[in-house]
Amino acid sequence: MDLENIGFGVGAAKTGSHSLAGLFASAIKVAHEPDSERFLALVLQFERGELSGAELQRSVKALLIAQGAQLNVAAMNGYLIRTVFSAFPSARYILTVRDAGSWVRSFVNHQVTRSPAPTSGWHAFRELRFVRDCRPHRPEELPLLQRGIYSLDAYLGYWAKHNLTIIETIPGPQLCIVATHHLARDAERLSRFIGVRPGAVALERSHQFKGDYRKPSPLDDISPKYLAERVAAYTRTLLELSARTLGDEHINILREALAYPS
């Protein structure tokens, strides 16, 4: 396996990982969420203190090498971005970014329709992402609390932290930011970044498993004005913090990604 030419998709869940993988599946060896149960087990072992940071890095590196993909696309890659980058410091990283408003609706809709069993590892991982930082519900969010939905600060805090950690970890030349809704439009730019002949990508597969974030949602039970204010606050903060690290080209792409839809 050529570790110099490996690429990773590191976007958060619900940002188009299926579509990114599908775009290149006919041109190179792509893996989408491979061995996710084994990867999840390593994360939970580390969080429980059963693995050291060094042990986690060795295990993650061995697992990713064994998968043998030229492009490995998984939200878990982004969750463990510091570990993955330490193991593959010469790799290229694609960060798919979705605007906070449609992302939080999509994630909440996904959660209420596909909730893992309380005893499962996936439930533990969800709790890890959304409960660990102790983000309680604000008074305006009583309908979410009553339905067992996490707070907006929990969701949006995770969204912002995931993106910002990647932006702050990966050097600019090794990072490619792309808006989820512009995967097809930016296929040529992505191809150059990955080292794939542009004509080899499958544009028709750039909108796979597209969820309808506009369908009825538990978020409809709270004030639209309040929801818009929380989304705007996290979007503004992410842009302000990212601007400390990103060059003009990257920050302009990020700004475009976060501004859609209004």
- Scan for tokens 């305006």, then name that residue: 140
**Whether residue 69 has pLDDT greater than 80:** yes
132: burial class by Cβ within 10 Å (0-12, 13-18, 19+)?
A: exposed
How far is residue 85 CA from its own chain's centroid?
15
* Confidence band of 71 (pLDDT split at 50, 70, 90): very high
Q: What is the pLDDT, as a whole number, of residue 196?
A: 87
Q: What is the pLDDT, as a whole number, of residue 113?
A: 85
- Scan for tokens 């818009």, then name that residue: 228
Task: Catalogue all structural domains in the chain, each as residue range(s) with its CATH number.
Answer: 7-258 (3.40.50)
Long-range contacts of range 88-91, CB-CB < 8 Å, 24 or more positions apart?
Answer: 88/3, 88/6, 88/8, 88/61, 88/64, 90/3, 90/4, 90/174, 91/3, 91/6, 91/7, 91/8, 91/174
**Whether residue 84 has pLDDT greater than 50:** yes
Give the model confidence (pLDDT) of 169-211 as tens digits: 999 999 999 999 999 999 999 999 999 886 767 665 545 555 5
Q: For the chain, what is the mean pLDDT?
A: 89
For 61-65, 102-106, 118-122, which range has the lowest pLDDT when averaged over its residues? 118-122
Distance (Å, rounded) from C-alpha 45 to C-alpha 26?
A: 35
CB 255 within 8 A of CB 243: no
Distance (Å, rounded) from C-alpha 107 to C-alpha 14?
A: 6
196 secondary structure, DSSP code: -
CB 5 within 8 A of CB 28: no
For 22-26, 164-168, 182-186, 207-211, which range has the lowest pLDDT when averaged over its residues? 207-211
**Whether residue 1 has pLDDT greater than 60:** no
